[in-house]
């Protein structure tokens, strides 16, 4: 492990902005997609019930 | 066909696939969480600092897996599209429909994380390099496929049109893959290949491969979940509720034929 402190970890050797934007955007997209699919499923089930 | 006493064709019907997918999703989701967790740990706490790029190289742990998924998923989607056209099988078309948004998302992420890596190492967010340009075209292909399907009301026509579109577009995948070899532009060559030993430290490669496996598990889980949405949307059966038993296939075919 090469991090002396938490600040050092978040600074990422001066590349913090690029590194954390990359990982943050990826996390947002994955979580967002899971939520979107979940909501779509709920809506689809409601739609199917409405048809009956 | 019956291998080991199991009727495998049973699961190719949406009615049998729906509950099976429901049972599989938690396992793939758990595997995805575990693998991504381990990958991040190795990537941030075990893998050393790169002697040339400093800490900026750590973007590789999301960039390469996302880029690989964008291509894998396109090929997989095209395979289902071809199977759908060949066998005239509705579930195959549904798989094509279920994979596309996840593929589009990974393509977007590959481009975005690439820009985040390009700025500190090349000095530019974007260049019209062969690899970047062909990957951007892949994003347009995914978006085009989704819009094409949405623009056709008749499901069978939408299935066929988008399947043909997906199959024609698969030609771009080898172009993306070999672009770094065919054109000597800015993007670096393959970091890991089947024929040569990796050009990175072992822990770096391990973190990248574990992340890639995690993204695979995530893609399977989310595709199965979207497949379930597509099945409910297209079959419009009142009995899809959690505790209702799966209806007979013949009965459902009759109903859906009339809708």
Which 3 state secondary structure label does DSSP give B3? Answer: strand
Q: Is B187 within the bounds of a domain? A: yes
pLDDT at B253: 45
Q: Is B258 within the bounds of a domain? A: no
Tokens of B109: 């992420």
Which 3 state secondary structure label does DSSP give B7? Answer: strand
DSSP, residue by residue, B46-66 = ISPPBTTTBGGGGGHHHHHHH
Question: Position of tokens 């698969």?
Answer: B170
Backbone angles phi, psi at B54, to 5 degrees: 65, -140
CA distance B19 to B228: 9
Backbone angles phi, psi at B118, to 5 degrees: -65, -40
CB atoms within 10 A of CB A19: 27
pLDDT at B16: 84
Q: Is there a contact between A49 and B238 if contact means CB atoms under 8 Å apart?
A: yes
CA distance B224 to B213: 17
Q: Is B5 within the bounds of a domain? A: no
Q: Is there a contact between A45 and B108 if contact means CB atoms under 8 Å apart?
A: no
CA distance B227 to B13: 12
pLDDT at B179: 87
The distance of A28 to chain B (nearest Cα, Å) reads 10
CATH number of the structural domain spanning residue B79: 1.20.120
Q: What is the dihedral of CA B182, B188, B193, B198, to 10 degrees?
A: 150
Greater confidence (A44 vs B198) lies with: A44
Q: Is there a contact between B59 and A19 if contact means CB atoms under 8 Å apart?
A: yes
The distance of B247 to chain A (nearest Cα, Å) reads 14
Q: What is the mean pLDDT of residues A34-52?
A: 89
The distance of A23 to chain B (nearest Cα, Å) reads 7
B207 is in which domain, residue-wise? 23-233
Q: What is the mean pLDDT of residues A32-38?
A: 97
Tokens of A43: 């809506």
Q: Is B165 within the bounds of a domain? A: yes
- CA distances from residue B253 to A49, B83, B245 in whole angstroms, order as listed: 18, 20, 16
Q: Is B143 within the bounds of a domain? A: yes
- At B67, which helix (H) or strand (E)? helix B60-87
The distance of A26 to chain B (nearest Cα, Å) reads 6
Q: Which residues pair with B7 in a beta bridge?
A: B2
Tokens of B34: 């575990």
Q: Which tens digit of pLDDT belongs to each residue from B66-116?
A: 999 999 999 999 999 999 999 988 899 999 999 999 999 999 999 999 999
Chain A, residues 1-52, CB within 8 A of chain B, namely 1-3, 9, 12-15, 18-19, 21-23, 25-26, 29-30, 33-34, 37-38, 40-41, 44-45, 47-49, 51-52
Output the tens digit of pLDDT for each of chain B's 259 residues.
445 555 656 667 888 889 999 999 999 999 999 999 999 999 999 988 888 888 889 999 999 999 999 999 999 999 999 999 999 888 999 999 999 999 999 999 999 999 999 999 888 899 898 899 999 999 999 999 999 999 998 989 999 999 999 999 999 999 999 888 888 777 877 776 656 666 677 889 999 999 999 999 999 999 999 999 999 988 765 455 555 555 544 444 444 444 3
Q: Is there a contact between B58 and A12 if contact means CB atoms under 8 Å apart?
A: yes
What is the count of structural domains for chain B? 1
Q: Is B254 within the bounds of a domain? A: no
Q: Is B225 within the bounds of a domain? A: yes
- Contact between B231 and B17 under an 8 Å Cβ cutoff? The reply is yes
Q: Is there a contact between A18 and B225 if contact means CB atoms under 8 Å apart?
A: no
CA distance B141 to B146: 9
ipTM for the whole complex:
0.93
Mean pLDDT of the residues in chain A: 90
Give Cβ neighbours of residue B72 (< 8 Å, ≥ 6 apart): B216
Q: Is B224 within the bounds of a domain? A: yes
Give Cβ neighbours of residue B103 (< 8 Å, ≥ 6 apart): B69, B70, B73, B74, B77, B142
């Amino acid at each position: 492990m090469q991090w002396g402190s938490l600040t050092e970890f978040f600074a990422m050797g001066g590349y913090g902005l690029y590194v954390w934007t990359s990982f943050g955007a990826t996390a947002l997209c994955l979580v967002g997609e899971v939520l979107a699919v979940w909501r779509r499923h709920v809506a689809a089930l409601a739609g199917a019930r409405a048809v009956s | 066909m019956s291998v080991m006493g199991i009727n495998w064709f049973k699961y190719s019907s949406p009615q049998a696939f729906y509950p099976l997918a429901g049972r599989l999703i938690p396992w793939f989701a758990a595997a995805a969480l575990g693998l991504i967790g381990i990958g991040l740990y190795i990537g941030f706490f075990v893998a050393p600092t790169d002697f040339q790029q400093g800490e900026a190289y750590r973007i590789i742990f999301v960039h390469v897996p996302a880029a690989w998924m964008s291509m894998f998923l396109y090929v997989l989607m095209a395979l289902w599209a071809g199977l759908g056209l060949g066998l005239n099988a509705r579930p195959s078309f549904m798989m094509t429909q279920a994979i596309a948004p996840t593929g589009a998302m990974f393509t977007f992420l590959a481009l975005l994380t690439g820009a985040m890596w390009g700025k500190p190492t090349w000095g530019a967010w974007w260049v019209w390099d062969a690899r970047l340009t062909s990957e951007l075209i892949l994003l347009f292909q995914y978006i085009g496929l989704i819009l094409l399907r949405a623009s056709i009301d008749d499901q069978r026509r939408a299935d066929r049109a988008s399947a043909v579109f997906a199959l024609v577009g698969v030609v771009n995948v080898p172009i993306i893959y070999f672009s770094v070899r065919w054109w000597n532009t800015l993007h670096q060559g393959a970091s890991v290949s089947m024929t040569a030993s990796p050009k990175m430290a072992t822990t770096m490669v391990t973190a990248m491969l574990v992340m890639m496996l995690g993204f695979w598990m995530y893609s399977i889980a989310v595709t199965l979940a979207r497949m379930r949405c597509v099945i409910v949307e297209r079959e419009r059966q009142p009995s899809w509720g959690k505790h209702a038993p799966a209806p007979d296939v013949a009965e459902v075919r009759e109903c859906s034929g009339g809708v």
